Chains A and B, each alone.
Chain A
Amino acid sequence: MIVVEDLVKRFGAVTAVAGVSFRVEVGEVVGFLGPNGAGKTTTLRVLTCFHPATTGRAVVAGHDVVEDPIGVRRSVGYLPENVPIYTDLRVEEYLHYRARLKGVARARRKVLVEYAMERCGVLEVRRKLIGHVSRGYRQRVGLADALVARPPILILDEPTSGLDPNQRRRMKLLVRELAEEHTILFSSHILSEVQDVSSRLLILHHGRLCADGTPQQLLERASGRRLDVQAHAPAEALRAALAGLPGLADVAVDSAPDGCARFSAALAPGADPRDAAAAALAARGIPLRELKLTLPTLEQVFQQVTEGADERAPAGAVA
């Protein structure tokens, strides 16, 4: 549905996107993460044909962004960051204007505008001037605009930026609902939101793609995972039973006053010794009380991925 191959975008001497490749399949909700200035908006602008790429290729819904920009724009509903929309029009007028501009036939226009307003919860402000509604409503009007021609793909640039927590929660629910009918690529730097809504995450940093996978995959691949075991045995016996398992590091064992011992170790990326640990304890006849794999938070993964990239390519190497 969206195919990006080796996309590079330079603005003079500044390289905003430095060779990004990814795919978004039909029906996916992909969260596009990255610190400010990572190249998220630039990539989305290339995908919506606002800027051309310097080199590389991008195909959206089967249309090449260079060869058939009109075809791309017909397939995409785009919500830019900060929702720059005309403030001197009424909500309903604006959506009718946009539907007309997007080539929605007159006969379907009324129905689709009603659908978009209802879906995005802006019916109660339909007669208000856009300049007079709150930031949350304006964001929803922008989303209604993206939806109004019922495009197969929605590209949303920071749809929750500038919203209060309640408005953010509502926007998140809305995006989740829309995911039933649209392929969605949306950018954000609020990780908890992305984790809740996305089926897959792309992490961009300094114009390069640093990570690509489901939230679960990224958490599993990350370092910072720990194995915690509690068993009814002396500390030394517990250490002897578990310390030899593969993929463990930074082992710590301590005794509790109730005759139990606690074992904790860092895990190598990808390692999962839970079954082996249970088997080792069973083989020695040690009663197991608790066995837990602790995953890092997405914030920690994000920090690892982006700071790891900084260490590999010192800041300034890629602007």
Chain B
Amino acid sequence: MSTILTTLAKELMSYFFSPVAYVIAVLFYLFRGLEVHGQVRAMAALGADRDLFSTVYMISPSSNFMVVLVPAILTMRCFAEERRSGSLEVLMTAPVREREVVLGKWLAALVFFAVLWLPTLPLLLLLNSEFFLAQDLPYGPVLTGYLGLTLLGAFLLAVGCWTSSLTDNQLLASLTAMLFNTALLVGPDMLGQQLGAQAQEWPWHVLLDQTRVRDHLVSWFCRGLVDTAQLTFYLGGAVFFLFLTTKSLEARRWR
């Protein structure tokens, strides 16, 4: 436990000192601010259902940026950099276990990922204020939407940790993770189209339902619904890829 917390603290410090993290944050907040402002104004002008707000708010290009690119960028250096610089040897000859190091690094990435979203909450308050829209926007579904995105982030950060553990090339690690993230976002829909009517049959419909990440956000989290099947999918996915990461680190012993 101590190793996990020590690694978490050290990695978080590295994130906060890293210029890359600040570039991501600035880009994200800039787009997010413009985007949300535009969305809410459009909804107000059209008189759209306020309940749709959380969906519109969550499913936006800046969310895609945070889902497809950011987890891959945050985690690309986790192990690839340690391998490249040789510091993995210093790390793994300390009295630590591989799984503790992996968990510590992943948790640090997850905390930083969640922290990146935090400043978007005051944005909502600001939009709600009388100076702007003086609207009574629904917070509950927005918060479950945040939960959904964080869970998806947890899963994709674990994927990023894994790809980073496979190589000493950070670029390769991040591109592989981005490829996976994109495939997860668009793959089930493309597969569904290819299958046609067959997509409604067992086992395809179960498989597609469980992996349609966008649907999970739109139809469940953004409506304030939290389903245990989806919790299991995201957390199970994270655990699976963290397990693979641990094995990939341990693999140096099999050579």
Closest to B104 in A: A101
**In the bound complex, how far is the Cα of B90 from the Cα of A78, in angstroms?**
8
- Interchain CA distance A48-B93 in the complex, whole Å: 6
Number of residues on chain B facing chain A (CB within 8 A): 24
A97/B10 contact (C-beta < 8 A), A51-B252, A70-B97, A78-B93 known: yes
Q: How far is the CB of A153 from chain B (nearest CB, A)?
A: 12
- With A11-B255, A74-B95 in contact, do A100 and B6 touch (Cβ < 8 Å)? yes
A200 to chain B, nearest CB (A): 24
Q: Provided the pairs A102-B95, A103-B2 are in contact, do residues A145 and B10 lie with their beta carbons within 8 angstroms?
A: no
Can you list 12 contacts pairing A with B, beta carbon distance less than 8 Å?
Answer: A51-B252, A51-B253, A76-B93, A80-B90, A84-B86, A84-B90, A88-B14, A88-B17, A88-B18, A100-B2, A100-B6, A101-B96
Alpha-carbon distance between A221 and B2 when the two chains are bound, in angstroms: 52
* A52 contacts partner chain B, Cβ-Cβ < 8 Å: yes
Check if B93 sits within 8 Å of A101, measured CB to CB.
Answer: no
What separation, in Å, do the CA atoms of A294 and B232 have in the docked complex? 78
Point out the residue from A12, A70, A85 that lies within 8 Å of B95, measured CB to CB. A70
Q: Which residues on A sit within 8 Å (CB–CB) of B2?
A: 100, 103
Complex: A277 Cα to B212 Cα, angstroms = 95
A206 an interface residue at 8 Å Cβ cutoff?
Answer: no
Within 8 A of B (CB), among A75-128: 76, 78, 80, 82, 84-86, 88-89, 93, 97-98, 100-103
Known: A73-B95, A100-B2. A84 touches B89 (CB 8 A): yes
A82 to B10, CA, bound (A): 22
Cβ-closest chain B residue relative to A82: B86
B252 touches A73 (CB 8 A): no
Query: Contacts A84-B85, A84-B87 known; A50 to B6 CB distance under 8 Å?
Result: no
Closest chain B CB from A115 CB (angstroms)? 18
Tally of chain A residues near chain B (CB < 8 A): 29
A154 CA to B253 CA, complexed, in Å = 22
A232 at the binding interface (Cβ < 8 Å):
no
A-chain residues with CB within 8 Å of residue B6 when the two chains form the complex: 97, 100-101
Q: Is A45 part of the contact surface with B, judged by Cβ < 8 Å?
A: yes
* B92 lies within 8 A of chain A by Cβ: yes
CA distance A12 to B254 in the complex (A): 10
CA distance A12 to B61 in the complex (A): 48
A196 to B: closest C-beta gap in Å = 27
Q: Are B89 and A50 in contact (CB under 8 A)?
A: yes
**A49 on interface, CB distance cutoff 8 Å:** yes
Q: Which residue of B lies closest to A97 (CB)?
A: B10
B residues 7-25 near A (Cβ < 8 Å) are 7, 9-10, 13-14, 17-18
Interface centre among B2, B13, B89 (most CB of A within 10 A): B89
CA distance A153 to B9 in the complex (A): 28
Closest-CB distance, A116 to chain B (whole angstroms): 14
List A contacts of B229 (CB < 8 A).
none
Tell me if B94 is interfacial: C-beta within 8 Å of chain A: yes
Q: Is the CB of A45 within 8 A of B89?
A: yes
Q: Write the nearest CB–CB distance from B103 to chain A, whole angstroms.
A: 14
> A73 to B94, Cβ gap below 8 A?
yes
Q: B101 — nearest CB in chain A belongs to which residue?
A: A101
